[in-house]
Amino acid sequence: MIRRMADKLGHLGHASLPKVDESDTLSSLGSPTSPNPASYLSQSSYDHRGSISTQATSMSEWSTDKRGFDVHSDMEVVEEERPHPRPKLVSRPRGVYRLSDFIIQRTLGTGSFGRVHLVRSKHNLRFYAIKVLNKDRVVKMKQVEHTNNEQRMLECVQHPFIINLWGYFQDTANLYMVMDFVPGGELFTLLRRSNRFPDPVAKFYAAEVALALNHLHGLGIIYRDLKPENVLLNSDGHIKVADFGFAKAVDTTTWTLCGTPDYLAPEVIGQQRYNKSVDWYALGILIYEMLFGLPPYHQVEQNHLILYDKIQAGPSKVAFPPAAFSDQAKDLIMKLMEGDPSKRFGNMRHGAADVFAHPWFREVDWTRLEAREITAPYLPRIAGEGDASAFDKYPEDDVSSTYGRPTPDLNGSLFPDFEYTAIS
């Protein structure tokens, strides 16, 4: 399908991709119904946004001292429903790893459940990221289902724009997940430095995200936490969607309240059953934020109830300053942010084909893009393999020395897919 569409859509070539200058200042985009981003981006409260659903074991919860939103919602939070029969996912072959296979270099992120470390394999000398989750804390925060979901989803997914899970294991105290080390950091960071992206740059990242979502949906997986914080930049400038703590395989619909407040679809807020169309809705929010610098329903005061009222009222009163939005960009965003899921792009008769064929994406050669044959608009400044300068520094606290030590283990059976291979 994508190959056929590529023949019709032309090419997103190098000439249409101006390089992102991190020193750019934001154009004046103030409007009566939307805040001026320049006046707000200087405020630290818009550093990072946490996800809601009690708390997340996903990367969106790491470094909670930087998160602008409380992870607790003003709405009633419900736990994941008991699983119904799900689409059968085919697991990829994976390696068998032990903690002793790696040399821990430094911490990349911290959170309520543990840490993410940059590590180097003693065998192939490649760099990886290992997420370490304390089992007792995961159980206490009732995140067992989300943790197992993340492992099971990533085990079945292989796509150029989605992070790879290479292996996973446990010891008596912790769970370990070995994943790609993506050295370019978050798209969120690049967006904050650039203030907003030119149209072709936003289009490049949106197109790669759309390909990743389409792949997940083809496997019956809803992602449920799209935002710039969860889109990482590889060394070649192409994206890797990360953070699968809220991903779920469903055959039809689900109803759990989870995600990031600015990106929640109205049916999620209304606690109605929903399907994969919530991801296409979030893509519309992402495109808006990349082009404007702020999400469409943004407000300086962090009041979730007011935010949810705006989302449920719909996008008809959202401002689209012409300096940031072309007519085609506005049209696509409005169709993705459609409040009625049955009329939302990505969820109608032609599915994702409606998104790929939209005039805003006319230049995109989807086949070449998915093959990473198109040069990215921004190449991260990386000194070499293992350069983690795009990530904040954290106190190490010698925590890694405790990994692998025998401790009482009351919860290992709750994570049946994590083998006990951590101790050499």
pLDDT at 20: 64
pLDDT tens digits, 348-393: 999 999 999 999 999 999 999 999 999 999 999 999 999 999 999 9
pLDDT tens digits, 1-46: 433 333 333 445 443 455 665 544 333 333 333 444 433 333 334 5
Query: 271 versus 213: which is more confidently predicted?
Result: 213
- What is the C-alpha to C-alpha distance for residues 370 and 130, in angstroms, rounded to an integer? 26
Active site annotation includes 225:
yes
The encoded tokens of residue 137 equal: 């804390």
pLDDT tens digits, 294-324: 999 998 888 899 999 999 999 998 999 999 9
Q: Has residue 221 got a pLDDT over 90?
A: yes
106, β-bridge pairs: 118
Structural domains of the chain, with CATH = 2-75+186-370 (1.10.510.10), 99-183+384-414 (3.30.200.20)
Q: Has residue 142 got a pLDDT over 60?
A: yes
Instruction: Tell me what the pLDDT averaged over the chain comes to.
Output: 83
- What is the C-alpha to C-alpha distance for residues 91 and 76, in angstroms, rounded to an integer? 35
User: Is 330 annotated in some ligand binding site?
Assistant: no
Backbone phi, psi, residue 19, to 5°: -65, 140
Contacts of 275 (CB under 8 A, 6+ apart): 222, 250, 252, 253, 254, 341, 347
Choosing from 101, 171, 180, 225, the catalytic residue is: 225
Question: Which pLDDT band, with edges at 50, 70 and 90, does 47 fall under?
Answer: low
Contacts of 403 (CB under 8 A, 6+ apart): 99, 132, 171, 173, 174, 422
Query: 112 versus 212: which is more confidently predicted?
Result: 212
pLDDT at 96: 85
- What is the C-alpha to C-alpha distance for residues 239 and 226, in angstroms, rounded to an integer? 13
Contacts of 205 (CB under 8 A, 6+ apart): 187, 197, 231, 239, 290
Nearest CA-CA partner of 68 in 390, 398, 303: 303
Backbone phi, psi, residue 207, to 5°: -65, -40
User: Burial of 82 by CB count in 10 Å (0-12 exposed, 13-18 middle, 19+ buried)?
Assistant: exposed
